A and B are shown apart, each in its own frame.
Chain A
Amino acid sequence: MATENENRAPEEINGATGEVNEEITGEVVKKPKKSGGGVTGGYMVRLVITLALVCAVIAALLATVNAVTKDKIEERKLESRKKAVFEVFPDAADCDPYDADGEHDVYVVYGDKEKKDMIGYAVKVAPTGFGGEIEMMVGIDAAGKTSGVSVITMSETPGVGTKTNSETFLSQFKGKTGAESVGDGIDAVTGATISSKAITAGVKEAHGVQVDLEKYAEEKGAKVDGGATAPEESEPAPETEPRPVPEETKEPQETKGPEKEEERKPDETKEPEFIENGSDGYYHNGVYSSETDDVYQVEVDKNEYESLLEKEDDPEETGTDAETKKP
């Protein structure tokens, strides 16, 4: 609005006085005018040219500096990313950027230099903490469990919020499924609840990013996780996915009937559904198993855990399983 008026003003003035040519060719002709503070057309042109020249010179300078530093900056950026990825994957040898959803920086991590063994992926997330965004890298292994969490940058309160960037806090996430929250599997750092919650939310967000390692591995001619357990581990995962929804609808009705002892067992069968929802199955497992069976107290990996579930539950719960699958 303002610029329109300013632009119009000189034209009106020129039109009124009829001195357009004189003003442009002549030197600085200062006349007390209604607007423009006495700046005439010719002088105006000089102002514009001078400012444009200044901008051009500075632009040239910046172009030069940019040309010199560009590669170096790219290099540094990649270096720091790789460093962050390697931090969450101690046995990583190399990593590749992976196009997940266009929002998150995802890196597929290899266990060998030849990029044949995919051991998992790392997601960069930036949850909002107390003092702004916390940039962090979350490593997720082929079994869908957190392999490590590292903070890249944080602007949390020094000495309070920054305490969350410590081994004691971050190592709590290791081996979990990203479903845990503060108070439920994760202990917050005293006085830094918001920062702790932010990091926990970041881990959850990272687990929510869809990464189809199997498919990507096929494309690349690599295999997921060099370990023997890996193919088995990644295969049951899709199977558990369709299962939980009917289970969830059925179980509340069933749990009302049986005694307390059996109430817990349906809870155990719920575990796969927790995994699918992105919540923690193992934590619950640990709690319940401490009352029923010693075997469950050990933190087992998903593969072992499911085979255990089958052994324990099949004799008793085949009926319920069959029922749950029907609808």
Chain B
Amino acid sequence: MKNPILKQMKEGIVTNNPTFVQLLGMCPTLATTTSVMNALGMGVAVIAVLTFSNLFISLVRNIIPKQIRIASYIVIISGFVTAVELTIKAFFPAIDASLGLFIPLIVVNCIILARAEAFASKNNPLMAVIDGISTGIGFTLALFSIALVREILGTGKIFAASNGTGGVTLLGPWYSPATIFLLPAGAFLTLGFILALVQKIADKIEEKNHKKEVEKYIDETFAVVPAEGAAEADVPVRTDAEGGDR
């Protein structure tokens, strides 16, 4: 993780996942995850918007006075969202049919504005693009995992097209679909359980890392006496950084 690009990718996809860690952009998360295809369509649209808006905002970050930065960001973001919407309308009518309403709503998706304000306006274009792509992928993966659960439990099928046709039947005729998973209530339930699971895994990893750190600290402290000062200053900071993200 020495490479800043890889570090940034891990940051966007795992450590600072926009959905599971930052809990941003909940509205599209809950609304578009009724099927895997919808979730992927939404994810790809967000990746495109996020990447381009991050790049553009990073390019003009030194020109825009701070009083009008939010206004400028909104103009830039809505511009790219409209561009993506037109493109989808022209070339992917199937996605347009199922996500029609949610594409324009990307404008007010707080992930985009959050990344613009917190990252793109303070970093160079390359890192901003990396951040946009990785945050977008993190968002897409989160949507994908929620949609996977909802679609399988809700319809017994997977990868069905937006109008409910096609798809691979995973659960046979013996399974009577639990429609609640396609309803808003199911979205909240699924999100809650997945969040709990992610949190559990994160805690496990953190615990493990902490143990390692402590062992390392003990080894260093008691083996080499002169290193004590350096280790003492170092270790707490590192553990803080691991845990402080949440």
Q: Write the residues of chain A forming the contact surface with B, with a CB cutoff of 8 angstroms.
A: 37, 39, 43, 46-47, 50-51, 54-55, 58-59, 61-62, 65-66, 68-69, 72-73, 76, 80, 153, 157-160, 162
Contacts and interface: CB of A to CB of B under 8 A. Distances in A.
B68 interface: yes
Interface string B79-92: 11011001101110
Interface string B33-44: 010000000000
Nearest to A154: B163
A8 B195 CA distance: 52
Interface SS majority for chain B: helix
B interface bracket (residues with beta carbon within 8 Å of A): 20 to 34
Contacts of A80: 93
Nearest to A155: B101
B179 A66 contact: no
Given A76-B93, A153-B97, A159-B182, A62 B79 contact: yes
Contact of A72 (B71, B83, B90, B100): B90
Contacts of B71: 51
A65 B68 contact: no
A304 B79 CA distance: 61
A46 B67 CA distance: 11
B194 to A, nearest CB: 20
Interface SS majority for chain A: helix
B164 A162 contact: yes
A47 B65 contact: yes
Closest 3 CB pairs of A and B: A58-B79, A69-B90, A72-B90
Interface of B: 34, 60, 63-65, 67-68, 71-72, 75-76, 78-80, 82-83, 86-87, 89-91, 93, 97, 100, 154-155, 164, 177, 179, 182-183
Contacts, number: 70
Contact of A54 (B76, B97, B155): B76
Contacts of A72: 90-91
Nearest to B35: A158
Contacts of A47: 65, 67-68
Given A47-B65, A69-B91, 13 more contacts: A50-B72, A51-B75, A54-B72, A55-B75, A58-B78, A58-B79, A62-B82, A65-B82, A68-B90, A72-B90, A72-B91, A76-B93, A159-B182
A51 B68 contact: yes
A39 B82 CA distance: 32
Contacts of B63: 50
A197 B60 CA distance: 54
B182 A76 contact: no
Contacts of A58: 75-76, 78-79
Q: Which of A43, A50, A51, A54 has the most CB of B within 10 A?
A: A54
Nearest to A160: B179
A72 B89 CA distance: 8
A158 B79 CA distance: 32
B83 A62 contact: yes
A54 B75 contact: yes
B57 to A, nearest CB: 10
A47 B67 CA distance: 8
Contacts of A153: 97, 100
Given A47-B67, A69-B89, A69-B90, A159 B79 contact: no
